Each structure stands twice: as structure tokens, then as C-alpha cells.
């Protein structure tokens, strides 16, 4: 698919309920990573546009804040219904700009929609507290109030879900929002805004400023005193910049940063189930998710058997364009992305790793990479420390439970971990010891709107989704009413 003409295709910025060009009229190209074809020339928002969006969100805030929760809930529910109604069109757009297979794109759209549904429900339950007083003649309250104007900076790997996961809780509690989507994938963001407008989200409440000038616009979003919270998903490196820049105005931060997920297979695991989980966790989105299995630790007794079974499953993965039938794996997002994967594989090979399957660019050319398994990977290989963000599974042998735990925790990251075991004692021992925010036990896919998503260590701050996701957009206001005991 090279061009399309459906109603959700929008190339302008969305500020204060108006579709507009960048203040200097500039645009940037959005490219289909499958074939390099330019899909759209999108408004390249400037610093001035960012200020305009902040002003719009600030102006819209008091009315939205004071709108009854039930009304906000209804509008969000309507947005959810529209996203689901338009799921096929949104998925097409998503696959075009991101490259993931159409079925996966549809899955992401519905996953993204589920956050809007969930937080439309949670909107009505942002309860405060009445606190028993320690002193006579007082009534004590903790009100929960929206934090104010918020900004979201989102990545290209989940162009729909990373936006709804941040914007839905913000809007649910009465905050307003400015979104800067990744320059690679702004079309899905703009399509979401079209549906938000149709759902009745008032002007200024939800603004989208696509831009290829991430640093300049990011600077405004992280330093403007009106913005009270920034939610960012992306690399740890940029997360540090955002945190530093946000320090001067003491903004609240939610950071969902890099991961380096260990995937541990113990001798007592159900190997077929482990292979299913490994494929889902490693090769989904061509390995470009922050909770992707990055390192496979396999116990010595089943190492060869697991490698063989995984090899058979990986050999069956079909690589190709998102719109081809039966495709399991699309291209990587950019040339830089594939070069990074090549560099990491070369480093591992130079340190003694063996290619079991794949190991190089795919015959399709462009940014397609072969689904790959490396065995005999040395413990000092870079790909055990850095995020691969590509379809490469390094397999490392271990002997004891303690060794697996130590190896898994040997990382500055702490986002997700997976392990496979049927020993109940081991399940709880290992789950307790792994230093990550999320753990899949005998499961390779664990994310959903109902659960708290987030990391520990240098993988970030805060939780998205679940009942906790809404708290990140609320402030506590303590109110002490005194003088009540006097007649």
C-alpha cells in the first residue's frame, strides 16, 4: 500500500480544536518503512506552535476540570467506541507508517482503545479520603484533584497505544493534554485526534503537535511553567534529558524508558509453551518493544532442546510487507535501527557467538532483518547489556537458579522479565528476587489496560494503566476544617 485516501488521513497539527500548518509552513516526510515511499508531508511544528498549544490547553483546563466526571467519562467512552468502529482504518494507517503486520496493528489499535475504555470507567472513581482526626473539633479531607496541563512525548513503536495510555487517564481526571508524537509515526496520532474531536472532546483539551524538531519543542514542553506533568515513553538517554530539563519547574514525571528483559527457561519448564512465549515476546513488532525479551537464559539440562524447538518456530516466521497475507514480521523502523542491530550481532559474533538461524539482513532488502537466534553468546557481548530492538534472540546457558537470578539482575534496566517453570516454590522465589517492574511467569505477553505497566531502576518512574495509572495525573489536596467543637 503506497497511498490512501480515507477520512482519518490528516497531515496538519491539531491545536485548540483547529487543524493548522506549522507557524513557518514547514513540513516533514513520513515514510513507509517497508518500501521507503513518502506517505505524507506533515506539519513540522515550531516552538511557537508549542507555545500556542500550551496556551490552548491552559485556557481549556478550568472548564474541563469542572466538567462532572460522569460527563468526561461519557465523552471518553464515545472516543473509545469511535476508535473501535474505525479500527480497520486506524490499523491500515498504523501499518503504513510503522511497518508492523496488519493483524498486529489491529491488535495495537484495540489494545490502545482499551485504555480509553478503562479510564472512561475510572474517571468516575477518583475518590478522595475522609481522615479520622487526631484532634477534637476538626474534619480532615484528602481531595484528589487533576494535576493541570500535561504533556506527552511518545515513541514510534506503538503509535496508538502509547498515546491513549497517557492521554486517557489525563483527560479522565480533568487534565488537558499536549501530545508530541514521534516524527516517524504522527499519522496515527492525528487520526486519534480526529476521532477525539468527533467524540466531543472540547477544543484545547487534547492537542497534537507533530514535529521533526524534537529537541526544540521538547524543551518547551519540559520547561514551560504551565505544564505540570510530562509523561514520556522512549529511550533512557532521552528520559534523562527530559528529567533534567523538567527539574527547574519541578514537574511531575512519568518515564517509561528502556528495558533489557531476561527470558529464563528452567529445566522444569513446559518447553513448547516457553517457545510460544519466546516467539511472542521476542519477534512481535520485529523485536521493537521495550518489554521484548532481550536475553534468553536457558538451563543446561534443556538448553539444546529449547534451542532446537525455538529454531523450528523461528524458521517458520514469514517476513514481509505489513499488508502481505500471513506475514509475521515487518521491517525495522529506520536504517539507523538496522545498523544498530547489525553492530550488536557483529560484536557478539566477534566474541564467539554462533548463528543458529538468520544473522543478517533479509533478502527483501531495505530495513528487513532475518529473525535470528545466536547461541554460545559470551557474557560480555554488548547485546546482553543494551536494548537490541530487533529480531535477535541471544541464548545463554546457566546452571543454577541463583545464577539465573544474578544474571537477570545484572542490568541497569528493570522493566520486564519472563521465566518458565512448573515448580511452585521456584515461581515465587524467582518472582520475588527479579528486579523488574513486571514479570511474566509462563507467559510471554503480559500487558493490558487492567495492569500496572512500568519499570524500576533506570527503566523509569510511575505506572501506566490499571487503577494506579490514574493516580499519576492526580494531586492530593489536604483540607483541615477546624473550629467545629465550639457550640
- The catalytic residues are 256, 290
Q: Does 50 bind ligand ADP (CB under 6 A)?
A: no
Q: Which one of 149, 182, 201, 434 is in contact with ligand ADP (CB under 6 A)?
A: 182
Q: Does 460 bind ligand ADP (CB under 6 A)?
A: no
Nearer to ligand ADP, 155 or 259 (CB): 155
Nearer to ligand ADP, 126 or 152 (CB): 152
Q: Which residues contact 406 (CB under 8 A, 6 or more apart)?
A: none
Interhelix angle for 69-85 vs 186-199, to 10°?
130
Nearer to ligand ADP, 238 or 404 (CB): 238
Nearer to ligand ADP, 212 or 281 (CB): 212
Shortest Å, Cβ 335 to ligand ADP? 13
How many CA within 13 A on the CB side of residue 442? 13
Closest-by-Cβ residue to ligand ADP is 218
C-alpha cell of 43?
Answer: 506539519
Nearer to ligand ADP, 215 or 448 (CB): 215
Q: Which one of 99, 112, 186, 218 is in contact with ligand ADP (CB under 6 A)?
A: 218
Under DSSP, the state recorded for 97 is: H
Q: What number of other Cβ atoms are within 10 A of residue 48's Cβ?
A: 12
Q: Does 391 bind ligand ADP (CB under 6 A)?
A: no
Shortest Å, Cβ 215 to ligand ADP? 4
Q: Is 315 exposed, middle or buried (0-12, 13-18, 19+ CB in 10 A)?
A: exposed
Element housing 229 (H / E)? strand 227-233
Shortest Å, Cβ 222 to ligand ADP? 7
How many Å apart are CA 237 and CA 274, to the nearest integer? 32
Decide: helix, strand or coil at residue 424: helix
Q: Does 210 bind ligand ADP (CB under 6 A)?
A: no
Q: Pick the piece of the chain touching ligand ADP (CB under 6 A) from 50-58, 99-107, 212-220, 347-355.
A: 212-220
Q: By rule CB under 6 A, what count of residues binds ligand ADP?
A: 15
Q: Which one of 62, 129, 139, 215 is in contact with ligand ADP (CB under 6 A)?
A: 215
Q: Does 205 bind ligand ADP (CB under 6 A)?
A: no
How many CA within 13 A on the CB side of residue 183? 15
Site string for ligand ADP, 331-360 (x = CB under 6 A): ------------------------------
Nearer to ligand ADP, 337 or 404 (CB): 337
438 neighbors 448 (Cβ within 8 angstroms): no
Q: Pick the piece of the chain touching ligand ADP (CB under 6 A) from 16-24, 148-156, 193-201, 440-448.
A: 148-156
Q: Does 47 bind ligand ADP (CB under 6 A)?
A: no
Vertex 106 angle, CA 102 and 109, to 5° = 135
Decide: helix, strand or coil at residue 249: coil
Q: Does 238 bind ligand ADP (CB under 6 A)?
A: yes
Q: Does 159 bind ligand ADP (CB under 6 A)?
A: no
191 neighbors 163 (Cβ within 8 angstroms): no
C-alpha to C-alpha distances, 125 to 1, 70, 77, 150, nearest whole angstrom: 44, 10, 15, 20
Q: Does 214 bind ligand ADP (CB under 6 A)?
A: yes
Q: What are 393's strand-pairing partners?
A: 373
Reported in sequence order, the residue ranges of 81-210 that DSSP labels E, i.e. its strands, are 129-131, 139-146, 149-153, 176-180, 206-208
How many Å apart are CA 263 and CA 48, to the nearest integer? 46
Can you give the C-alpha Rg of the chain in angstroms?
23
**Residue that is written with C-alpha cell 501499518 in the block:** 95
Shortest Å, Cβ 216 to ligand ADP? 8
Reported in sequence order, the residue ranges of 206-249 that DSSP labels E, i.e. its strands, are 206-208, 227-233
Q: Does 54 bind ligand ADP (CB under 6 A)?
A: no
Nearer to ligand ADP, 146 or 239 (CB): 239
C-alpha to C-alpha distances, 80 to 112, 259, 445, 461, nearest whole angstrom: 9, 29, 23, 27
Q: Pick the piece of the chain touching ligand ADP (CB under 6 A) from 6-14, 84-92, 152-160, 295-303.
A: 152-160
Under DSSP, the state recorded for 202 is: P
Nearer to ligand ADP, 275 or 337 (CB): 337
Element housing 413 (H / E)? strand 413-414
Q: Pick the piece of the chain touching ligand ADP (CB under 6 A) from 138-146, 238-246, 263-271, 435-443.
A: 238-246
Q: Pick the piece of the chain touching ligand ADP (CB under 6 A) from 61-69, 151-159, 359-367, 454-462.
A: 151-159
Q: Does 299 bind ligand ADP (CB under 6 A)?
A: no
Shortest Å, Cβ 238 to ligand ADP? 3
Q: Does 234 bind ligand ADP (CB under 6 A)?
A: yes
Q: Pick the piece of the chain touching ligand ADP (CB under 6 A) from 22-30, 99-107, 154-162, 168-176.
A: 154-162
Element housing 327 (H / E)? none
Nearer to ligand ADP, 20 or 241 (CB): 241
C-alpha cell of 246?
Answer: 523538567
Of the candidates 300, 261, 270, the one whose C-alpha atom is nearest the C-alpha of residue 420 is: 270
Chain residues that interact with ligand ADP, rule: CB under 6 A: 153-156, 180, 182-183, 214-215, 218, 234-235, 238, 241-242
Amino acid at each position: 500500500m503506497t497511498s490512501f485516501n480515507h477520512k482519518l488521513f490528516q497531515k496538519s497539527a491539531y491545536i485548540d480544536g483547529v487543524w493548522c500548518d506549522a507557524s513557518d509552513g514547514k513540513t516533514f516526510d513520513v515514510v513507509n518503512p517497508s518500501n521507503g515511499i513518502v506517505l505524507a508531508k506533515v506539519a513540522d511544528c515550531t516552538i511557537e506552535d508549542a507555545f500556542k498549544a500550551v496556551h490552548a490547553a491552559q485556557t481549556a483546563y478550568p472548564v474541563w476540570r469542572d466538567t462532572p466526571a460522569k460527563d468526561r467519562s461519557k465523552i471518553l467512552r464515545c472516543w473509545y467506541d469511535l476508535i473501535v468502529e474505525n479500527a480497520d482504518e486506524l490499523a491500515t494507517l498504523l501499518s503504513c507508517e510503522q511497518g508492523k503486520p496488519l493483524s498486529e496493528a489491529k491488535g495495537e489499535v484495540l489494545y490502545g482503545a482499551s485504555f480509553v475504555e478503562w479510564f472512561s470507567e475510572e474517571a468516575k472513581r477518583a475518590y478522595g479520603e475522609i481522615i479520622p482526626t487526631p484532634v477534637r473539633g476538626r474534619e480532615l479531607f484528602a481531595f484528589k484533584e487533576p494535576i493541570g496541563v500535561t504533556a506527552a512525548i511518545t515513541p514510534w513503536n506503538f503509535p496508538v497505544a502509547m498515546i491513549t495510555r497517557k492521554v486517557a487517564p489525563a483527560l479522565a481526571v480533568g487534565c488537558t493534554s499536549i501530545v508530541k508524537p514521534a516524527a516517524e509515526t504522527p499519522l496515527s496520532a492525528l487520526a486519534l485526534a480526529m476521532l477525539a474531536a468527533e467524540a466531543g472532546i472540547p477544543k484545547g483539551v487534547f492537542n497534537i503537535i507533530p514535529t521533526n524538531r524534537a529537541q526544540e519543542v521538547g524543551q518547551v514542553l519540559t520547561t514551560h511553567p504551565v505544564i505540570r506533568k510530562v509523561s514520556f515513553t522512549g529511550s533512557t538517554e532521552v528520559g534523562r534529558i527530559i528529567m533534567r530539563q523538567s527539574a527547574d519547574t519541578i514537574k511531575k514525571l512519568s518515564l517509561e524508558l528502556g528495558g533489557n528483559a531476561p527470558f529464563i527457561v528452567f529445566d522444569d519448564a513446559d518447553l513448547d509453551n516457553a517457545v510460544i512465549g519466546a516467539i511472542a515476546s521476542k519477534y512481535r513488532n520485529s523485536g521493537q518493544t521495550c518489554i521484548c525479551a532481550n536475553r534468553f537464559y536457558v538451563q543446561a539440562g534443556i538448553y539444546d532442546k529449547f534451542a532446537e524447538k525455538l529454531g523450528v518456530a523461528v524458521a517458520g516466521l514469514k517476513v514481509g510487507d505489513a499488508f502481505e497475507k500471513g506475514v509475521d514480521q515487518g521491517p525495522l523502523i529506520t536504517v539507523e535501527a538496522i545498523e544498530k542491530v547489525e553492530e550488536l550481532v557483529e560484536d557478539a559474533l566477534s566474541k564467539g557467538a554462533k548463528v543458529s538461524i538468520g544473522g543478517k539482513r533479509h533478502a527483501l532488502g531495505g530495513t528487513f532483518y532475518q529473525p535470528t537466534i545466536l547461541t554460545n553468546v559470551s557474557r560480555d557481548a554488548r547485546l546482553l547489556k543494551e536494548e537490541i530492538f530487533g529480531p535477535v534472540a541471544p541464548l545463554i546457558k546457566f546452571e543454577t537458579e541463583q545464577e539465573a537470578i544474578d544474571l537477570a539482575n545484572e542490568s541497569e534496566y528493570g522493566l520486564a522479565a519472563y521465566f518458565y517453570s512448573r515448580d511452585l516454590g521456584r515461581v515465587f522465589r524467582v518472582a520475588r528476587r527479579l528486579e523488574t517492574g513486571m514479570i511474566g511467569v509462563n507467559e510471554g505477553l503480559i500487558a493490558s489496560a487492567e495492569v500496572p505497566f512500568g519499570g524500576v531502576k533506570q527503566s523509569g518512574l510511575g505506572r501506566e494503566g490499571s487503577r494506579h495509572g490514574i493516580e499519576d495525573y492526580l494531586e492530593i489536596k489536604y483540607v483541615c476544617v477546624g473550629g467545629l467543637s465550639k457550640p
